[in-house]
Amino acid sequence: MNLNPLAAEEQFLKPLDRVNGFDIRPGLYEINGATSFGSCVNFTIHSQNAVSCELLLFHRGEKEPYGTIPFPENYRIGRVYSMIVFGLDIYDFEYAYRMDGPNVPEKGLIYDKTKVLLDPYARAVTQQSIWGKEPDREKGYHGRVVFNDFDWGDAREPKKPMQELIIYEMHVRGFTNASSGVQFPGTFEGIREKIPYLKALGITAVELMPVFEFDETMGKREIGGRTLLDYWGYNTVGFFAPNTGYTARQEYNREGTEFKNLIRELHQNGIEVILDVVFNHTAEGNEQGPFFEFKGIDNRIYYMLTPEGNYYNFSGCGNTLNCNHPVVQQMILECLRHWVIHYRVDGFRFDLASILGRNEDGTPLLQPPLLRNLAEDPVLKDVNLIAEAWDAGGLYQVGNFPAWNRWAEWNGKYRDELRSFLKGEYWFAVQAAKRITGSPDLYGGQYRGYNSSINFLTCHDGFTLYDLYSYNEKHNEEN
């Protein structure tokens, strides 16, 4: 079954130019990323400040490109580069870009035409499929073209009311480690094996810690003879690509299939799927960090920069995504739509979501356009939007996050005050009563309501449930 609406167009498309041995023609400018139809592949990428762009084609796993195709000047409309390349076998090639432009660091412009750049819209990212294996950073990340022919049949999402959600936060690898007894530990398939256990727990939703492609070897270090990795995954490399280190088998050009199978079976068992998403920063870090994607495409568009061209760090991770720039807003919206349309996810939990409400100079906005656009978007209208309503720059908005009657919040006050009460600080009884009854002091307004509060006691960056009652401070000394 071919679900690609572009496939029928192939018979009407003819090459118009030949560049470096490749037949090409102007592409489909409205479709970002790389999309195949038959033996043709459409490549579209945009940059506000680049002056030229080259498409690089690599044989699978190779470091040097076998083909380099500069976008002809007349193939650029506005700031969008787009072309269709004929005669490509998507099983054989990977792709990336190089861009040239001004290099004026104090103005945030740091173009380098020697750097290999990952497509931000890539549906699959290379070098990430073996957990813990450090990628060849000199080679750079490449994208792959992915078939979009998964058959969901008549599968339907559970669509439970927010007040009925019992959410189980889990880490794909941690939940299915060697002690779990599954055949495929550390994978989406391992979670699928544990669905009967999840049903027995009585939970109605799983909230998966980051499953977008990330590099767990960034920040790799040795402590006490043990190698520690960036295990949690809050270090995004590709926003449109699933983490191939979480699959039981290689999925060349069909990346995401195992994850889709898991989602479909969870839905069949009445369990919703919420993704923990990280739009507050990227894996490129600060001035000393790697240079493989946004820095080389549009550094001063995608990142919040100081007047001197340095990175604001409201995330605590080196950089801050410039979420309320229209170009970045568009990418985030397209990303969320992608996961809802092609993966049928039921909701998103936004890490350090207060950053999404900061202006381009870092100041908080009263009515952040990004947050409103997500709240009102027709594709996202039925999904749950959950904010971690603070950031690392001191902006704390629990009970005051811009909501438009759509956004819920991780209720940090519930966590802190219930913990204090439950471990014996009885003078917290009044506060505990407020939290148990829905935090009416925080969510009693006309546009909020009790459904705004996601009540929780522990999470990935807090205490384990055992430590919650055993220690006054976090007890993970190795980290």
Residue the block writes with tokens 């397209």:
334
DSSP secondary structure letters along 274-307: EEEE--S--TT-STTS--SSHHHHHHHHHB-B-T
First to last CA, the chain: 49
CA dist., res. 164 & res. 434, Å (int): 20
Q: Strand runs (DSSP E) across 244-321, as ranges?
A: 272-277
Q: Which helix (H) or strand (E) holds 76?
A: strand 76-77
Residue type present at position 139: K
351, 391, 409, 417: the active-site residue: 351
94, 157, 293, 388: the active-site residue: 388
For residues 353-391, one letter each, b for 16 or more C-beta atoms within 10 angstroms of the residue's C-beta and e for the rest, the string is bbbbbbebebeebeebebbbbbbebeebeebbbbbbbbb
351 catalytically annotated: yes
361 catalytically annotated: no
CA dist., res. 186 & res. 244, Å (int): 11
Residue the block writes with tokens 């989602």:
263
Report yes or no: 359 and 383 within 8 Å, Cβ to Cβ: no
Q: Within its chain, how far is the Cα of 91 from the centroid?
A: 25
Q: Which sequence positions are flagged as catalytic?
A: 351, 388
